[in-house]
Amino acid sequence: MKYSYYPGCTAGTTSAEFELSTHAVLKALDVEVFELEDWNCCGASSAHSLNHELSLALPGRNVALAQEAGLDIVIPCPACYQNSLSADNAFREDEEWRRKMEASLNFQYNGKGRPRHLLDVISHDLEIEAIRDRVVKPLEGLKVASYYGCVLVRPPEKTGWDDPEHPTTMDRLMEAVGAEPVDWSYKVDCCGASMTFPMGEVVAKLSSRIVAGAIEAGADCIASACGICQINLDTRQAVGERMPIFYFTELMGLAFGMPGVKKWLGKHAVNPCPLLQGRNLL
């Protein structure tokens, strides 16, 4: 399987462990990705609040870059995925805007190469048995609360996830690598996202509530599919709870016996090693 790849701006910084584990897991599953050459920032969480045209034009350029390869674009970051998806939808549905972008970028949109989130690609393009077959160290005894965040699954008419309020895609993936997914009520609640800087106390309250919900459900840890969600839950949870927050790709890499796991885990604020060692997983 081959895909274009858009890493996003945080791949080499705050979500470096997501980037590293993503590439390791994709390689283990024989999935080839080709990073877009000369990609640009998608506008992140600010462009849409400042300039609507720019918020579409920035990811629109990346969609145009990916079109030449004719491959779907794998995107780990939910915000980057949503911005790219919005631009792709604008290309498809807004003829005036499409013509303006085509003239500006000197290309012709043909609809090839749709933006897709990493979790979607791994969960739906690969057979679940292929994932199970790659497991060498099943995550037995590890109770995981799968956390999607509020951005990834919405709006449902655009994203197409199994359920916008109670998705189970990541749960099935965690089950495939031997973990025990727990049922809980905060799968798609907001952690506060980029408000962590101007409104840190609000983010701390939201993130702590999510972690408390996972603890109440009997989880040992949370698996995230978002860089900003992971860092908010990891660093903003109330003192005393201290629950490890993984990227789902890190747990997959652990189950696959990847040699880089300890390096990824060393980047976490809440040290996950005692938990994993207590379950004989590390």
CATH number of the CATH domain containing 102? 1.20.1050.140
Do 160 and 238 belong together in one domain? yes
Q: Find the helix packing angle between 78-93 and 95-105, rounded to 10°.
A: 110
Q: Read off the pLDDT band of 98 (50, 70, 90).
A: very high
Percent of the chain past pLDDT 70, that is, above it, reads 99
Residues 27 and 68 in one domain: yes
Which of the two residues, 160 and 39, has the higher pLDDT score?
Answer: 39
Dihedrals phi, psi of 231, to nearest 5 degrees: -75, -30
Domain boundary among 118, 153, 180: 118
**Alpha-carbon gap, residue 222 to 216, rounded angstroms:** 12
Provide DSSP, the chain: -EEEE---TTTTTTTHHHHHHHHHHHHHTT-EEEEPTT-----TTTHHHH-HHHHHHHHHHHHHHHHTTT-PEEE--HHHHHHHHHHHHHHHH-HHHHHHHHHHHT------S-EEEHHHHHHHTS-HHHHHHH-SS--TT-EEEEE-HHHHT-SHHHH--S-SSS--HHHHHHHHTT-EEPP-S-TT----GGGGTTTHHHHHHHHHHHHHHHHHTT-SEEEES-HHHHHHHHHHSPTTT---EEEHHHHHHHHTT-TTHHHHHTT-SS--HHHHHHTT--
- Name the domain count of the chain: 2
Give me the residues paired with residue 49 across strands: none
Q: What is the pLDDT of residue 104?
A: 92
Query: Is residue 97 in a domain?
Result: yes
> Do both 72 and 186 map to the same domain?
no
124 occurs within a structural domain: no
pLDDT reading at 194 higher than 90:
no
pLDDT category at 126 given cuts 50, 70, 90 is very high
Q: What is the CATH number of the domain that holds 245?
A: 3.40.50.11810
Question: Same domain for 179 and 267?
Answer: yes
Instruction: Give the Cα separation of 227 and 10 in Å (integer).
Output: 8
Q: Which of 60, 88, 118 is the last residue of a domain?
A: 118
Domain that holds residue 232: 137-278
Percentage of residues in the chain with pLDDT exceeding 90?
A: 83
In a domain, 74, yes or no: yes
For residue 126, being part of any structural domain is answered with: no
Give me the half-sphere count of Cα atoms (radius 13 Å) on the Cβ side of residue 207: 29
Residue 128 located in a structural domain: no
Residues 274 and 141 in one domain: yes
Is residue 131 assigned to a domain? no
Q: What is the mean pLDDT of residues 236-256?
A: 93
Tokens of 25: 């897991």
Pairing type for strands 115-117 and 73-75 reads parallel
Q: How confident is the model at residue 179 (pLDDT cuts 50, 70, 90)?
A: very high
Is 227 within the bounds of a domain?
yes
Binned at pLDDT 50, 70 and 90, residue 200 comes out as confident
